[in-house]
Amino acid sequence: MLWSHSPQMAVHGPTNGCTSCGIAILRSSPMTMESPCQKICRLNESRTYCTACKRSLAEIADWAKLDQATRDKIVDELPTRRLDRN
């Protein structure tokens, strides 16, 4: 099974990226992991976070390398970020 950035976008090589934002995604595991990606990547004016999922560019790029506890913490913070960043 291939790692995917989102349920609909399979990553087929050792590195690939989101087709919307071009951020490289590393394939780190044969498992599929969930991501808050909404497949509509749009960067804010200062290009520091995605206005759709509210993750920072570093969080997006490192998602596959993060442990489950860190990913869970980020996902738990997203509702607050959505209020702060809209």
Distance CA 78, CA 73 (A): 9
pLDDT in tens, the chain (86 residues): 333 344 443 333 344 456 556 555 544 444 556 899 999 989 998 888 999 999 999 999 999 999 999 999 999 999 888 766 65
pTM over 0.85: no
Identify the sign of the CA torsion 47, 51, 53, 55: positive
Distance, CA of 11 to CA of 22 (rounded, Å) = 12
Residue 64 and residue 37 in contact, taking contact as beta carbons nearer than 8 Å? no
Looking up tokens 């990553």, which residue turns up? 11
